[in-house]
Amino acid sequence: MREGPSSSTRARLLALLLPAWLLDGGCTRDAPPEPRARVTMEAIDPPAAAPSEPETAARPSVPELGPPPAVAWRFADLDAALEEAARAGKLVLVDFGAYWCTACHELDVEVFARPEVGAFVRERFVAVQLDAEKGEGPELVERYGISSYPTLLVLEAGGVERGRITDAAPWPQLQVALEQIAAREGALASLE
């Protein structure tokens, strides 16, 4: 005579099948099946009765993303920035950084997000932000001898370097340094 499953096997089998059996209706085999419940938005968020007074608290909505960046960066297109600078009679401000550079991110958040910085940069520069490890970044790092991040490079419209800042600093110090670099005579003017 063949033996059935052991008691431990039966217990495991029962533990696996019992929840499914109960969810499927359990012992109500002879009862007619109930219609499946439908979940509607009204069940989750019932319509409110018309308030007698206007609501004072607005319902939460999609969170604001905040103001647009203060500095209108071009990303990874130095040639176009040089052309625009030539047309506008401006210098080019190139921000060399990397995704892993903590000081670069701090500079973005603490300095370049400020409205007064955006206004200052827009007035004097065409701004380009480059990832030193992607796109044209590695070639430009080599061309301009960039050795640390962040590095802010000020270029004339012809691509000639006028000056650089090689460390993150508070805005007042950066502003003074950028003003001094911008006030220098250009490379071609000094040859005349």
**171 confidence band (pLDDT: 50, 70, 90):** very high
Which of these CATH numbers, 3.40.50.620, 3.40.50.10470, 3.40.30.10, 3.90.1300.10, describes 74-191? 3.40.30.10
Contact between 113 and 69 under an 8 Å Cβ cutoff? The reply is yes
Whole-model pTM: value is: 0.62
CA dist list (Å): 19 to 26, 34, 37, 38? 9, 18, 19, 21
Q: 152-181 burial string, b = 16+ CB within 10 Å, else e? A: bbbbbbeeeebbbbeebeebeebbebbeeb
Compute the mean pLDDT over every residue in the chain, rounded to the nearest whole number: 77
Domain positions in the chain: 74-191
